[in-house]
């Protein structure tokens, strides 16, 4: 979202360019106040779509999913009336996530189908509204389990990656990093129950790329995400005691809202596995169960299943004994280099 003239209309000066970022970075309540003030002063219809989208995000982050659904439905209707295809697709993609969180799965699938049907009309990849819409569609597809379709949409955006808004590029690297951790945990479900060290190392590189792109303190969530992912090599594979110490240093991630769901979930995955490796089974199971309860309405089913499996191992240690909590040589992630394209990075499974 920006203050620019476009063929869709002119953005009112009351509409803040950073609402979407700040809404998902711990400032949702303040953003709501700013949106209410802007709307009370009067906004043109095109600017209303920007404000309503940010408002729905705020309600989601603050935990009022039903209110967010009402706003998102109002937004989709407004976009339809104004014939704003990019904004309409983005609104439907958001509505897909909201309906899924609210347990309205059939309606979520229906809205996703509508969103996908709008995609072919979005051909101008240099239009920021189109970029934002395709990014939202890729996320909705991924959350819906249509990973191959999500990759196809992401490949469309790869051609204009350097032109994407910073917050969208940061989000891409963050999502890729957590996808990589999910992939790394897949081998841990079968003997010898080991995590893929190479994929964990790549996840750390990718979250460092997100931090490099962010470049300033606005992206607080990404900073916390990075702290969690940097702790995983020790917690999952190296010195388990050191891993527990590192994870305890970023325990404040548990105080965040839904915007930090992935970080909270994999914080718990790392903590549970580290404690199991140290033989602290009851403590591991209790922590894992508590975090599962915390995120039960957020994240994806696949990610929650990863944590549920780790909790099961803690509750039934004889079923698959913990790996020895030994120190291991850990490949140092490269830092300080220019990020490479997250879409061109080799990946498998969820990536």
- The domain segmentation of the chain, as residue ranges, is 5-164, 168-315
d(CA 290, CA 85): 42
pLDDT tens for 24-36 read: 777 889 999 999 9
Give 130's strand partners: none
CB atoms inside a 10 Å sphere around CB 335: 11
* Residue 278: pLDDT band with limits 50, 70, 90: very high
Mean pLDDT (whole number) for 235-255: 95
With a cut of 80, say whether residue 276 has pLDDT above it.
yes
Res 217: pLDDT? 52
With a cut of 70, say whether residue 351 has pLDDT above it.
no
pTM: 0.66
* β-strands 9-10, 5-6 pairing: antiparallel
What angle, 0 to 180 degrees and rounded to 10, lies between the N-to-C axes of helices 261-277 and 220-232?
Answer: 20
Q: Answer whether CATH 3.30.70 is correct for domain 168-315.
A: no
Give 5's strand partners: 10
14 or 101, greater pLDDT: 101
* Most confident by average pLDDT, 28-32, 146-150, 157-161: 28-32
Res 225: pLDDT? 94
What angle, 0 to 180 degrees and rounded to 10, lies between the N-to-C axes of helices 197-214 and 220-232?
Answer: 160
* Residue 311: pLDDT band with limits 50, 70, 90: very high
**Mean pLDDT over all residues of the chain?**
82
* Residue 15: pLDDT band with limits 50, 70, 90: low
Are 5-164 and 168-315 equal in CATH topology? yes
Q: Answer whether CATH 3.40.50.970 is correct for domain 5-164.
A: no
CA distances in angstroms from 101 to 66, 96, 144, 197, 226, listed in the order given: 10, 9, 11, 32, 25
- Asked whether 84 and 8 are in contact (CB, 8 A), the reply is yes
Peptide bond into 341 cis (omega under 30): no
Res 154: pLDDT? 84
């Amino acid at each position: 979202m920006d203050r620019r003239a476009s063929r869709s209309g002119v953005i009112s000066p009351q509409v803040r360019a950073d609402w979407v970022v700040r809404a998902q970075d711990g400032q949702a309540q303040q953003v709501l106040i700013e949106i209410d003030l802007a709307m009370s002063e009067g906004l043109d219809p095109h600017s209303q779509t920007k404000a309503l989208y940010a408002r729905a995000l705020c309600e989601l982050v603050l935990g009022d999913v039903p209110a967010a659904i009402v706003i998102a439905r109002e937004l989709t209707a407004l976009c339809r009336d104004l014939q704003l295809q990019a904004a309409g697709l983005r609104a439907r993609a958001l509505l897909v996530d909201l309906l899924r969180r609210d347990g309205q799965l059939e309606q979520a699938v229906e809205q996703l189908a509508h969103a996908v049907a709008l995609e072919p009309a979005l051909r101008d990849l240099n239009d920021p509204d189109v970029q934002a819409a395709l990014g939202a569609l890729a996320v909705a597809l991924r959350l819906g389990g249509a990973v191959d379709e999500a990759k196809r949409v992401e490949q469309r955006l790869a051609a204009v990656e350097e032109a994407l808004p910073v917050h969208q590029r940061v989000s891409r690297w963050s999502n890729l990093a957590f996808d990589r951790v999910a992939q790394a945990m897949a081998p841990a479900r079968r003997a010898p129950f080991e995590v893929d060290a190479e994929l964990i190392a790549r996840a750390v590189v990718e979250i460092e790329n997100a931090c490099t792109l962010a470049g300033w303190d606005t992206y607080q969530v990404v900073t916390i995400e990075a702290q969690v992912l940097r702790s995983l090599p020790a917690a999952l594979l190296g010195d388990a005691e050191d891993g527990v110490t590192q994870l305890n240093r970023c325990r404040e991630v548990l105080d965040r809202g839904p915007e930090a769901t992935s970080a909270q979930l994999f914080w718990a995955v790392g903590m549970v596995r580290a404690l199991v490796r140290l033989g602290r089974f009851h403590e591991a199971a209790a922590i894992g169960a508590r975090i599962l309860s915390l995120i039960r309405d957020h994240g994806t089913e696949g990610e929650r299943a990863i944590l549920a499996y780790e909790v099961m191992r803690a509750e039934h240690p004889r079923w698959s004994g913990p790996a020895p909590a030994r120190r291991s040589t850990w490949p140092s992630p490269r830092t300080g280099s220019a990020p490479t394209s997250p879409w061109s990075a080799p990946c498998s499974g969820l990536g």
